[in-house]
A and B are shown apart, each in its own frame.
Chain A
Amino acid sequence: NAGVTQTPKFQVLKTGQSMTLQCAQDMNHEYMSWYRQDPGMGLRLIHYSVGAGITDQGEVPNGYNVSRSTTEDFPLRLLSAAPSQTSVYFCASSYSFAGTEAFFGQGTRLTVV
């Protein structure tokens, strides 16, 4: 059982480049989300989805887009990378939104130069 799979694990981008971080889960979870983790800041919510076709903004959505065409996949797109987006990104899924365990992918370490 793969759980939540994120790719790539590492990425270096130049300022202004775009890229997509992939996230897939095989647990048939409705709720999926993207977080970024920076030193001393904890995990901050970027975007989330409560089901296929539905997405919403989290705490720090600027510079990122998401889509949810299927239950399994929830890609995160960086539109024009900036050094401030250097971070570790985690995708998570859970059975429902409130009060259930969140399962995280292994993370993507992104550096923007």
Chain B
Amino acid sequence: RKEVEQDPGPFNVPEGATVAFNCTYSNSASQSFFWYRQDCRKEPKLLMSVYSSGNEDGRFTAQLNRASQYISLLIRDSKLSDSATYLCVVNMMDDMRFGAGTRLTVKP
């Protein structure tokens, strides 16, 4: 079983749609959690950290459920510019473990 698992997608949604991505992790001792965004043929960049209380940044909301070892990312009012691959990242003691990513395409 992979340590960090994501639905690979692709998710194809129209502009203005709400879309949610899920991520599960296997190590209950994981300490910190992130969502990164990666555009095609580019490097990953931090989208947002994920806190136990949940956090929101504009149209983006991240949630963490430690009991179920589950992280989510919700994107509201999708824009064309949101098209990218979204990587779930879990910090496990001495390294960061990445999910394989979920690909999102937002269409006009």
Contacts and interface: CB of A to CB of B under 8 A. Distances in A.
Interface of A: 33, 35, 40-45, 48, 56, 58-59, 90, 97-99, 101-102, 104-107
A102 B4 contact: no
Contact of A58 (B41, B91, B95): B95
Given A40-B100, A42-B4, A42-B100, A97 B43 contact: no
Nearest to B94: A97
Interface in B8-25: 8
Nearest to B92: A98
Interface residues of B, number: 22
Contacts of A33: 95-96
List of 10 A-B pairs having minimum Cβ-Cβ separation, nearest first: A104-B43, A99-B32, A42-B100, A43-B98, A42-B98, A101-B46, A45-B95, A104-B44, A42-B99, A106-B43
Interface of B: 4, 8, 31-32, 34, 41-46, 49, 87, 91, 94-101
A56 B46 contact: no
A90 B43 contact: yes
